[in-house]
Amino acid sequence: MITPSQRCRFFIILMLVCTFGAWGVDKTTAYLIDEEISRHIQEIIKLRRFLHMNPELSQREFETSKLVASQLLSMGLEVKTGTAKTGVTGLLRGGQPGVTIALRADLDALPIQEATALPYQSLNPGVMHACGHDIHTAIALGTAQVLVRLKDRIRGNIKFIFQPGEEGPPAGEEGGAALMIKEGVLDDPPVWAVIALHVWPDVPVGRAIFTSGPALAGADGFEILLKGRGAHGARPYEGIDAIVLASQVVLAIHSTLSRTNRPDDPAVVSIGKIQGGVRSNIIADEVRLSGTARTLSEVNRTRIERLLYDISDGITKPLGAQFELHYNRGTLPVYNHPDLADILLPSLRSALGKNNVSPHPPQMVAEDFSEFSQRVPGFYFLLGVRPAGAQAVPPLHSPGFNPDEKSIAVGIKAAAHLLLDGLATQHRMKD
């Protein structure tokens, strides 16, 4: 968690930013970044296509991990493999002393059969990079490639974190950001702040969106088991109909939530699965409801868990039925530290052009980057990947998802500026 002393440091940084005025890397560095990007972009796009053709599922990113490690080694970085099983880190030590900032990318793909008809579509049946993590990995490798050349100008260290299992480890396994952190990815050298991005098809390529504070929702899962009593379909009065109980519970959840939730603290509850019943002429004795709850605050999270309990209790009790609620607290909200945002948002604007960065309302999707942003200040932005002129494009997690590859150069530029500016801020603070 962020300590009061960290808050104090941020305040000092903020004052320095105000004192120093305009923000951003110097002109020569900005020129060198652009030059390095144009020098390497074709090979990075080739690498992204290779990753796209060879997607691997969460916590099974064996070949992807090997490829990333060999790329980082060839750049001369200090490489560590095997964190959270398939995670990789590359440490770039700058020419001048300073703190360590991190850039995090995720490695895993989804169990989706690709339907893009691209010449480089997935060769792995039923598995696809439909969340753009191939783009994230390519951007992080590209950023490392660019910054290696600028090593002497770097005041501190940059840790490139390649995380497995962002979409969630297989049932019963540990993985993802939480396991990487547990195994020490934020230590040795300790990470001061962490940056990440996600491709975003609602936004045109060349642009980015960012919001300070809670940016993405926390995601919890729940299951409600409603226990009635079976009977003949012709004699329902001899049983307790679990299907009727389930129908009432579903409707009560949605109507109660819409009437009780504050519009300034959004929450979404969806029940995606109902299982129950045996055949058409038997009164079902049990029905299981499975759903997800998305919230931006702890208050709402606790409130929804209570609401699910009270509704189930209120509906089952009068009829003599019973229920079990299993509420599983999952991913926390992604939190963009407001003080870090004050420092780095001008840097993002300076990299992409001030009219190309705009705010966004919190999104109800979830991301385990939250594990990082709960421990050290985080900066997480959404990178436009919609091709210029396109009105609607296939969404994330769909078989047709096809981000514009021009976003790779944009992402590398943004990441390089943010990392260098972040470190420069810390350096100035120490002067």
State the catalytic residues: 108, 166
Compute the least distance from the CB of residue 246 to Zn ion, in Å: 29
| Cβ 146 vs Cβ 40: under 8 Å | yes
267-276 and 213-216 as β-strands: parallel, antiparallel, unpaired? unpaired
Q: How far is the CA of 282 from the CAs of 29, 246, 287, 397, in angstroms? A: 74, 16, 13, 38
Residues 371-430 that bind Zn ion (CB under 5 A): none
Question: Applying CB under 5 A, does 131 fall inside the site for Zn ion?
Answer: yes
What backbone torsions phi and psi does residue 174 show, to the nearest 5 degrees? -90, 160
Size of the site for Zn ion (CB under 5 A): 1
Which one of the spans 125-133, 184-192, 303-311, 373-381 is the region binding Zn ion (CB under 5 A)? 125-133
CB atoms within 10 A of CB 174: 13
For Zn ion, the closer CB: 99 or 366: 366
- CB-nearer residue toward Zn ion: 33 or 161: 161
User: Stretches 45-53, 131-139, 205-213, 325-333: which one binds Zn ion (CB under 5 A)?
Assistant: 131-139
Binding piece for Zn ion, criterion CB under 5 A, among 15-23, 129-137, 238-246, 405-413: 129-137
Distance CA 376, CA 310 (A): 36
Report how far residue 102's alpha carbon sits from residue 123's, in angstroms, rounded to the nearest whole number.
32
| Smallest separation, CB 292 to Zn ion (Å) | 14
To Zn ion, the closest distance from the beta carbon of 132 in angstroms equals 6
Using rule CB under 5 A, residue 257 touches Zn ion: no
Cβ proximity to Zn ion, 162 vs 192, nearer residue: 162
135 belongs to the binding site for Zn ion (CB under 5 A)? no
The C-alpha torsion from 132 through 134 and 135 to 141, rounded to 10°, is: 150
Tell me whether residue 92 or residue 197 sits nearer to Zn ion (CB atom). 197
Which position's Cβ is nearest Zn ion?
Answer: 131
CB 294 within 8 A of CB 304: no
Q: Minimal distance in Å, beta carbon 167 to Zn ion?
A: 5
> Residue 288's beta-bridge partner residues?
225, 275
Is position 177 an interface residue for Zn ion (rule: CB under 5 A)? no
SS3 content of the chain, % helix, strand, coil (to 5): 40, 30, 30
Minimum distance between the CB of residue 270 and Zn ion, rounded to whole angstroms?
Answer: 16
Which residues are 162's β-sheet partners?
A: 88, 105
Residues forming the site for Zn ion (CB under 5 A): 131
